[in-house]
Chain A
Amino acid sequence: MEPVKLTAKDYKTSVPIVWCPGCGDFGVLNAMQQAAAELAIPPENLMVVSGIGCSSRIAGYVNAFGFNTIHGRALPIASGAKLARPEMTVWAAGGDGDGYSIGTNHFVHTIRRNADITYIVMDNNIYGLTKGQVSPTTPHGDYTKSTPLGNPDRPLNPLALALELGATYIAQGFSGNVKHLRDLIVKGTQHKGFAFINVKSPCVTFRGRQEFNVVREHGVYLDESHDPSSWEKAHEVTQWKEKIPLGVIYHVHGVPTLDEIARDLQHKAEEQGHVETSKDLLEIFG
């Protein structure tokens, strides 16, 4: 069969985009559509699952089986989908509030199970959809609508957290560099296991346009001198204070994935004894 040529356009939908003009998430959407085209994933074989937040609207903007779910639950829904249909490509997406606050528990355990999905977090350091409250990645001391006296909490470091939890692919992108982000998504999708991509995706409305400049000024693209297979090197990068690492920070292979383990268990069960139909189970109740 002749391979079908797909372009980013094939992944656009007619759903009106509700993001503010200049929102960082436009860059992420472009990168996702370009990555899908480059990977030539037929839209009907792509599943995009998101939680709740401005960025989670993205599930409706990619021509795929899209599911804009409930707050914080993109990962277990995406994991369940992948478990049910391992032959499909599953992307999960959301924001920092969705993934690192209400959904943290799932972040931890999806990493632990190494579900073979790509998780793109549009990290804008603020709750945008609810109009400007402090988020788990808002810098300490920042003034937001819910921290009128300055953010009393220290921000969470999602890269370090993922590394410590044993994530098998950790990357950081910037919505201001679509091409670079596209490559991270392509690599993450090709990775067998949980691919975590934190994307610096500024909120122009509640954090301001200068956020783009912050990333441009402090962003450091990781080059060949960084060895992503080294946990120690990766750890060092995740601890940078001023500089913002961009690129693949950590990448290891060969860790069994959620759906591989499920298949292994099926084989194990079969070895213990074949059961043809559910009626054959009656004997265990005899």
Chain B
Amino acid sequence: MRDVTLAIAGSGGDGVITAGDFIVQAAARKGLNAFMLKSYGPQIRGGESSARIRISDRPIYSQGDFVDFLVVFSWKDFARFSDEIKLRKGAVVLYDEADSTPPEEFPIAAELGAELIAVPFKKMAAEEIKVPLTKNMVALGVIAALLHLPLDGIKDAVMKKFGKRKPEAAQVNIEAIDLGKGWVEKNLPDGTQIVLEAEGTGEPKLVMTGDDAVAYGALHAGVKVFAGYPITPASPILEFLSKWLPHFGGAVVQTEDEIAAITYAIGASWAGKQAMTASSGPGVALKLEALGLAAIAEIPLVVVNVQRVGPSTGIPSKSEQADLFQAVGGTPGDVPRVVLAPSDVEDNFQVAIEAFYIAEKYQIPVVILSDQFLGERSETIDPDVLFARKRVIARQLAKPSDLKEYKRYKLTDTGVSPMTVPGMKGGQYITSGLEHYEDGRPTSSGTMHQIMSEKRARKLPLIAEESGFVRVYGDEDAELAVLAWGSSKGAVREAVERARAEGIKVKAIVPQLIYPVPEKKLDAALKGVKRAVVVELSFGAQFYRFLRAYYDGLPKETYSYARSGANPLLVSEVLEAIKEHAGAMNAPQEA
């Protein structure tokens, strides 16, 4: 197989994620593509966790619907993932022989015809390595040997993690890997039916999570102050910047609450430094009043929302696309803002740069709508593509000529007025959350409010024009289109390719800029499309309804495929939707 999906399921202490990380890094070193999705229960320690890794020499767009190769440390833990881990027919399943579940109770359907292999992971780790915790490494050796994964790459990754700090740990882990490999040579000399037959390019790739990518992109864009409050699944952004921003003369504050986080960022940006905050839906909800302040005071600001399942606490560790309405409209008043949606890990990096570009150029708050599925997954990335985009800009300051009778909110054709920062003589002004005149003085005048509302709104079409990046995949002249946003892109793109392979003419349309709607670019993408289906992970079909409300160019025949999140979007369900609509289009018209 050139495209293998494997999953490892166990308890929190089993080192499932660590093993997965090593596999992904090994693949990256060989120049293969890899994609890892972590999944875990609510417990901090000891709860169930799973790593799902897909490896291929072809581009990988999604987590893979079906698992080809499964490693189970505990059947009880695996049962909790039965919703997410669907086995392919004829899959190979390795399980710990010490597990107490009798074979007749294995939560695997007999008709799948899985090849079940008992392996003494625990026993080997305990008796031969004398370190029971190394059972994940024993498993890694077994997996690598059976799947033909690059063993040297795995060892390199282990050395990189432990080599310098804990050389003895590195040694023990490598022994455990070799033990697993030896077990396969002795007990399964003919291997199994599933083998990865993919050669990497040999050019090493990077491995990044979406949260790290958005933080790294912000750092590259010049963020100087970051303020955040811990929340799943956005905390890794806070952690990444806490580690690295001080290296670049910046500062990170873990604030007392979500409101303090956004207001620290607003204060820093008003003072002249690029600033950002990040959270998830519930935290962003608390920030919304301040988002309106940034909008009316026209202060550049970037807010990341790594969406999770809601409402309220929902399912904090899982993904959903249901904060779209919040991002677009969840603030009191008419608040001009920009909403960008990254669609994969690399895009998280690019969108962070774009967000700062728009925020600084147009003096407007920008919301980045990532989600758990993007934020916490790892992907291999080609290092060359990261820095291809050259859209890094600094604060756009008022010119000396602007400072004569300086008007911070001067009415202009673009809606963008000259901005000063402290220290600029003659540049001082009053700003506020109050409606104001051109010089910032507060006013209760309805006429002025109308004029200023128009001024602020003038920026939006310019942003849509300049930044309205819309991705189109598939048949350009297709009459059937799938519209998707954010992390749904992966499964949708793969489904479109599979549909085309089956002879269906179809394309996928994925805007990076959600709001303001990039109308012209969407018009172009939808040209000739007679039927569209809007695919999303929102029970309330927020994207479908959003497009209906904010965009006039949808084909008359536009349908919704929407369901609640938590379980990632599957290629097969999108493919089914495509087939259904393609079939309906070709059906003879009733008289």
Q: Which residue of A lies closest to B156 (CB)?
A: A286
CB atoms of B253 and A106 under 8 A apart: no
Contact A77/B206 with A15-B442, A70-B293 known, Cβ cut-off 8 Å: no
Contact A68/B428 with A80-B267, A80-B271, A84-B271 known, Cβ cut-off 8 Å: no
Contact A44/B267 with A65-B422, A88-B422, A275-B244 known, Cβ cut-off 8 Å: no
Contact A73/B263 with A44-B425, A279-B387 known, Cβ cut-off 8 Å: yes
Total A-B residue pairs with C-beta atoms closer than 8 Å? 182
Say how far A39's CB is from chain B's closest CB, in angstroms: 16
- Inter-chain CA distance A68–B219, complex, in Å, is 30
Contact A80/B266 with A64-B428, A105-B257 known, Cβ cut-off 8 Å: yes
Q: Which residue of A lies closest to B259 (CB)?
A: A73
Q: Does A230 contact B (CB under 8 A)?
A: no
Contact A76/B263 with A42-B425, A70-B289, A281-B219 known, Cβ cut-off 8 Å: yes
Question: Secondary structure of the B side of the interface?
Answer: mixed
CB atoms of B220 and A278 under 8 A apart: yes
Q: Which of A15, A49, A286 contacts B267 (CB 8 A)?
A: A49
- Inter-chain CA distance A128–B422, complex, in Å, is 31
- Inter-chain CA distance A78–B260, complex, in Å, is 11
Contacts of B256 in A (CB 8 A): 105-106, 108-109
CB atoms of B422 and A285 under 8 A apart: no
Interface residues of A in 246-286 (CB under 8 A from B): 258-259, 262, 265-266, 268-270, 273-275, 278-279, 281-282, 285-286
- Inter-chain CA distance A6–B41, complex, in Å, is 64
Q: Does B131 contact A (CB under 8 A)?
A: no
Contacts of B227 in A (CB 8 A): 76, 80
Q: Does B394 contact A (CB under 8 A)?
A: no
CB atoms of A77 and B266 under 8 A apart: yes
Say how far B133's CB is from chain A's closest CB, in angstroms: 25
Q: Which residue of B lies closest to A72 (CB)?
A: B259
Which of B143-151, B317-325, B430-438 forms part of the interface with chain A? B430-438
Q: Which of B225, B248, B383 contacts A83 (CB 8 A)?
A: B225
Say how far A161's CB is from chain B's closest CB, in angstroms: 15
Question: Secondary structure of the A side of the interface?
Answer: helix
Q: Does A160 contact B (CB under 8 A)?
A: no
Interface residues of B in 314-373 (CB under 8 A from A): none
Cβ proximity bits B120-133 to A, threshold 8 Å, 1 near / 0 not: 00000000000000
Q: Does A185 contact B (CB under 8 A)?
A: no
Q: Does B455 contact A (CB under 8 A)?
A: no
CB atoms of A84 and B275 under 8 A apart: yes
Cβ proximity bits A180-211 to B, threshold 8 Å, 1 near / 0 not: 00000000000000000000000000000000
CB atoms of B225 and A84 under 8 A apart: yes
Contact A88/B423 with A15-B441, A269-B246 known, Cβ cut-off 8 Å: yes
Cβ proximity bits A12-54 to B, threshold 8 Å, 1 near / 0 not: 0111100000000000000000000000001111110100100
Interface size class of A (residues with CB under 8 A): 35 or more
Contact A278/B204 with A76-B259, A83-B268, A105-B257 known, Cβ cut-off 8 Å: no
- Inter-chain CA distance A13–B425, complex, in Å, is 15
CB atoms of B441 and A80 under 8 A apart: no
CB atoms of B255 and A109 under 8 A apart: yes
CB atoms of B248 and A84 under 8 A apart: no
Q: Does B26 contact A (CB under 8 A)?
A: no
Q: Which of B268, B275, B430 contacts A68 (CB 8 A)?
A: B430
Q: Does A245 contact B (CB under 8 A)?
A: no
- Inter-chain CA distance A9–B564, complex, in Å, is 62
- Inter-chain CA distance A279–B34, complex, in Å, is 22
Interface residues of B in 411-429 (CB under 8 A from A): 421-429
- Inter-chain CA distance A83–B271, complex, in Å, is 9
- Inter-chain CA distance A44–B160, complex, in Å, is 51
Chain B residues within 8 Å of A, Cβ to Cβ: 28, 160, 204, 206-208, 212, 216, 219-220, 224-225, 227, 244, 246-251, 253, 255-257, 259-260, 263-273, 275, 289-290, 293, 297, 381, 383, 386-387, 421-434, 441-442
The 5 closest A-B pairs by CB, nearest first: A80-B267, A68-B432, A80-B264, A77-B267, A84-B268
Q: A84-B271, A278-B220, A282-B206 are in contact. List 13 more A-B contacts (CB 8 A).
A: A43-B428, A44-B427, A60-B430, A66-B431, A67-B432, A68-B432, A70-B263, A70-B433, A80-B253, A84-B269, A85-B272, A87-B423, A266-B246
